[in-house]
């Protein structure tokens, strides 16, 4: 609860920053700045990846962490330098940034292995998860058979919920071997969704490459866990006439791919949309530059921010639940499907491939 209060205070502070920048009487320089303000460019800059970590700006200065650029050119070797050298459109050692893409001035091929903002945020969140769950695991070892305390008691409720309401009901008797993956996916998405709402943070789960990787992992786990019954349902769908199978088989195979595709798009779209809406409300203050617009924009922005706290855990839950359902459909046996164990509920058949 204390963490939630601190998070809300931080969100309020960042939303309040544009209000303090508002002036009732605009000078000529401010009028020029108003004309130059491009909300679309500002929003895309904030939700996109970059080679520097910009925290905040003031009238006279700005706080920016310049990240290392690691570039490889065939025939020229490896180049490592700070992104400060190519900031603001500058060129360095034959390199420059074009819309956050590292390119060579002579047009030659460049392989960019840089620690970008999202890559650095990924490392930070991974370290944070290792620390948090090392403490939780240590608590279980020390207080085996006793009531949980501290951070262990907070996470135990969530872990038990994922086990009982997601894994057991969706996967069935074989749920235990998939619990580490389901818990990792859930907490990774949830943690990074929350971190993305803090001031100056990276929009990691709003990056299509990250959601694509998560979806591909789910697809691989599903395919490598699949049994004979899963594939027989695809290539010899029960109740389908032989003459119709040449049509049904491609449809079932497309369904195998579209499931992880929907996971990727759903998470990416929901998280990105939330950031865009919040930044759009903040942009209204700079567009209208009116004292009457600022409180309304602040109120709506704060409301969406609070709503995003719910979306953060909801999207993590949906991704984990659908992942468990896909795995459950791949590992269920024929008798499990008849008894409706794993991969479905009492209202729908367990064998729900491609439907």
Q: Which sequence spans correspond to the domains of the chain?
A: 66-112, 117-339
CB count within 10 Å of CB 336 equals 21
Tell me, what's the pLDDT at 27? Answer: 41
In whole angstroms, what is the distance from residue 77 CA to residue 4 CA? 48
CA–CA distance, 215 with 320 (Å, rounded to integer): 11
Note the pLDDT of residue 176: 93
Encode pLDDT of 224-278 as tens digits. Answer: 988 888 887 788 777 777 888 788 888 888 988 899 999 999 999 999 999 899 8
> 101: which strand partners?
98
Low-confidence ranges of the chain (pLDDT < 70): 1-36, 56-61, 334-355
Q: Would you state the pLDDT for residue 200?
A: 75
Q: What is the pLDDT of residue 243?
A: 81
In angstroms, the CA 14 to CA 239 distance is 59
pLDDT digits (tens, 9 = 90+) for 70-101: 999 888 889 898 888 888 878 888 888 888 88
Question: Distance (Å, rounded) from C-alpha 288 to C-alpha 34?
Answer: 9
Task: Determine the Cα–Cα distance for residues 115 and 123; give it in Å rounded to an integer.
Answer: 10
| Model pLDDT, residue 349 | 40
Contact between 336 and 350 under an 8 Å Cβ cutoff? The reply is: yes
DSSP 298-331: HHHHHHHHHHHHHHHHHHHHHHHHHHHHHHHHHH
Number of C-beta neighbours around residue 328 at 10 A: 28
Look at the block and give the residue holding tokens 């991974």.
Answer: 126
């Amino acid at each position: 609860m204390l963490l939630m209060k601190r998070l809300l205070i931080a969100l309020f502070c960042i939303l309040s920053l544009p209000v303090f920048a508002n002036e009732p009487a605009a000078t000529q320089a401010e009028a020029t700045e108003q004309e130059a303000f491009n909300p679309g460019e500002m929003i895309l800059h904030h939700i996109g990846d970059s080679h520097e970590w910009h925290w905040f700006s003031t009238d006279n200065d700005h706080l920016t962490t310049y990240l290392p650029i690691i570039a490889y050119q065939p025939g020229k070797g490896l180049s490592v330098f700070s992104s400060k050298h190519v900031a603001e459109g500058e060129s360095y050692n034959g390199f420059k940034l074009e819309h956050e893409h590292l390119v060579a001035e002579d047009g030659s091929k460049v392989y960019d292995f840089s620690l970008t903002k999202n890559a650095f945020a990924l490392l930070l969140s991974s370290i944070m998860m290792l620390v948090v769950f090392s403490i939780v695991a240590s608590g279980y070892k020390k207080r085996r058979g006793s009531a949980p305390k501290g951070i262990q008691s907070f996470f135990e409720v969530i872990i038990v919920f994922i086990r009982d309401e997601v894994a057991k009901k969706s996967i069935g008797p074989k749920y235990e071997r998939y619990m580490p993956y389901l818990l990792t996916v859930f907490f990774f998405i949830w943690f990074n969704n929350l971190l993305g709402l803090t001031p100056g943070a990276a929009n990691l789960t709003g990056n299509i490459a990250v959601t694509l990787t998560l979806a591909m992992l789910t697809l691989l786990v599903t395919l490598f866990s699949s049994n004979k019954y899963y594939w027989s349902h695809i290539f010899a769908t029960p109740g389908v006439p032989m003459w119709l199978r040449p049509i049904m088989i491609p449809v079932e195979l497309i369904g195998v791919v579209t499931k992880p595709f929907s996971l990727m798009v759903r998470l990416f779209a929901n998280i990105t949309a939330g950031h865009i809406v919040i930044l759009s409300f903040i942009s209204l203050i700079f567009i209208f530059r009116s004292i009457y617009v600022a409180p309304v924009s602040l109120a709506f922005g704060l409301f969406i921010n609070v709503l995003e706290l719910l979306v953060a855990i909801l999207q993590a839950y949906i991704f984990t639940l659908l992942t468990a359902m896909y795995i459950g459909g791949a590992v269920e046996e024929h008798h499990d499907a008849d008894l409706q164990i794993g991969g479905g509920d009492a209202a729908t058949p367990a064998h729900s491939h491609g439907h």
